[in-house]
Amino acid sequence: MSGLRQMIGSKGTVWAAGAYDALSARLIQEAGFDALLTSGYAISASLLGEPDTELYTMTENLAVVRNVCSAVSIPVVADIDTAYGNPITAMRTMREFESAGASAVIVEDQVSPKRCPCAADKVEIVPMEEAVNKIRAMVSVRRDPEVLIVARTDAVDPEEAIRRGRAYVAAGADIIQPISKCFKNFAGLQAMREGCGVPLSLQLLAWLETDLSRKQIEQVAALATYALVPVMTVTQALRTNLRALYESRSAKSLPMPVTGLHAFNDFIGFGRVDALQREFMPGS
């Protein structure tokens, strides 16, 4: 498990991208990102072909996170949605994702099953006291204090978001994450950062992605994540090439470039496995 807390302490802002499986995680690491997020939105799309409405189970999400943690050496921030139930359920969720190797978890205060705020017009959130107790329960079973708890609030009223953020920090959350619909400008993010007394986690969507400068993001955020760029990139590239492949029945002139077989073999590690076989299976 990599020291995300220490990395934030030295870098100030850790930049990440959203993975949905072990291959996308390897590519994020290769690109040079400090860390990665296992995006619930992208995992639901990749694993089930379904929208991010908490259709997948805790164990299905956990399996993806475990594979991702095994595949990379950079810190993994796990999206655990609502922690799949009440505070008691959240305790098991915390233990399982910590054991899988996550360096941080993001838990949100939506009613379960949740709805993705980037697709839903309105989401329901639980009473603040219920969310506070869930965070307290998660803190109580965290074995390694270096594992960060990121508390996300889906409140869209700025004052309510700050009020909740402050309460979540008091309950033991290390970082607070607002949703992009809550604030309309950088000043609002500054107010939340100052009001909660801890750095923010920002998933760079909507105006957060298009309007904020790198300098502004680094003034308020401990975690800055391009959560959906990888899955959206893959979707567009596959859609483009598969359509062309079907129409032409030829792979000779596809619109999008394709990684060569030998280059992919090198990246994915056939050479490493061959070396291990020579060392430990000399007669094979």
Query: What residues act catalytically?
Result: 116
CA 64/CA 38 separation, integer angstroms: 8
HSE of 239, CA atoms in CB hemisphere, 13 A: 6
Q: How is residue 95 written in tokens? A: 């233990």
User: Rounded distance, CA 158 to CA 254, Å?
Assistant: 47
Beta bridge partners, 16, equal 35, 225
159-184: b (≥16 Cβ within 10 Å) or e:
eebbbbbbbbbebbbbbbbbbbbbbe
Distance separating alpha carbons of residues 9 and 203, to the nearest angstrom: 20
Spatial neighbors of 188 by CB under 8 A, at least 6 apart, are 158, 182
